[in-house]
Structure 1
């Protein structure tokens, strides 16, 4: 029987943002094949670096790991967008430095997760958040480039939340950066479809939307 484990941040640990409605982990459990189960080890507010503390909590019987993390790293770096710069090139150089730090942290995180020896998938950071401005979306593209390249190098499938959560009602009215029950259902459906269909015996970075 399968056992899907969700690691990362509030994309998966969204219960507080959908009161009286099923959070992502419950939606995943409902969509899995009969006899399968799901476990949540993701923690609201965690960053890429924090996943190291989640890894020891992954049950030994896990069959699939799905990681969605990085949005809080991008959020913490968003202050750079308000810093003065003499030219667009100078501003991009500052952003590139932050992205370099993120690349190192993300590669380290993914290595730790994959060291568990379980079939693993990762998620991009969604960017259709209603309150997000053009500059934030442009900066997020750099973070997502790092995630997609890491997935390609590792040969793990990628769930592209940018495509999946593309409507305003995919985001919680309590916090516009968190998934609503509608967005959560879309995310859960993609996870369930991936674990049913993907051939993890191959190093195949297929994209699921």
Structure 2
């Protein structure tokens, strides 16, 4: 039995952006069937600084009767951190150099926060799934639409249902640039 925990932001906690029953967690449950469990730990509006609390919640999900921990962590976070900078990016600056220095500082802060989050994660699902305009909600262009949620849920279900029951490993799916590496 797979037990997936969805952590992060409104990519998974998208109930405010789609019709009832079309949330990513609900669609994932329909892909997996009754033999598997899905727990929504993600919260709309979360930023990287909120992730330690979400990881602490994961620790409380160990099944007391079987001492079984969740089998998969799926994480989508960081977008709200970037959105928080939109207003700051419109601030007046005295020079191009000042703007470049501000961008460099924001990038360094984001990198530190994201790396800290990755260090807390056992597994992370960061791969391009929603590549079409129709994959995003008309209510909010950064949230998945019903179609986008279906794609996300199908991708997670495919990962969870893969026949690798005897393999224990940590895998990070995503762009090479997003993986932790030497500080720079």
Structure 1 residue 101: Cα displacement = 0.9
4+ residue segments displaced more than 6 Å: none
Distance change in 2, residues 1:203/1:66 (3 Å): closer
Q: Is this contact kept in 2: 1:21–1:181, CA < 8 A?
A: no
* In structure 1, C-alpha distance between the alignment counterparts of 2:162 and 2:113, rounded to whole Å: 29
2:85 is paired with a residue whose SS is helix
User: What's the Cα RMSD here?
Assistant: 2.3
* In structure 2, C-alpha distance between the alignment counterparts of 1:13 and 1:204, rounded to whole Å: 23
Structure 1 residue 203: Cα displacement = 5.7
Higher relative contact order (CA 8 A, sep 6+): 2
The aligned residue for residue 105 of structure 2 is 97
The aligned residue for residue 122 of structure 1 is 125
TM-score by length of 2: 0.78
Deviations 1:110-137 (A, max 9, x none): 22233xxxxx1233xxxxxxxxxxxxxx
| Structure 2 gap segments, 5+ residues each | 63-68, 176-184
| Structure 1 gap segments, 5+ residues each | 115-119, 124-158
* In structure 1, C-alpha distance between the alignment counterparts of 2:116 and 2:152, rounded to whole Å: 25
* In structure 2, C-alpha distance between the alignment counterparts of 1:48 and 1:100, rounded to whole Å: 14
Q: Is this contact kept in 2: 1:4–1:63, CA < 8 A?
A: yes
Distance change in 2, residues 1:180/1:106 (3 Å): same
* Larger Rg belongs to: 2
TM-score by length of 1: 0.70
- Which structure dedicates a bigger proportion of its chain to helix? 1
Match of 2:76 among 56, 59, 68: 68
Q: Is this contact kept in 2: 1:12–1:24, CA < 8 A?
A: yes
Counterparts of residues 48-63 of structure 1 (less than 5 Å):
48-58=48-58, 59-60=61-62, 61-63=69-71
Counterparts of residues 13-162 of structure 1 (less than 5 Å):
13-32=13-32, 35-58=35-58, 59-60=61-62, 61-85=69-93, 86-87=95-96, 89-114=97-122, 120-123=123-126, 159-160=127-128
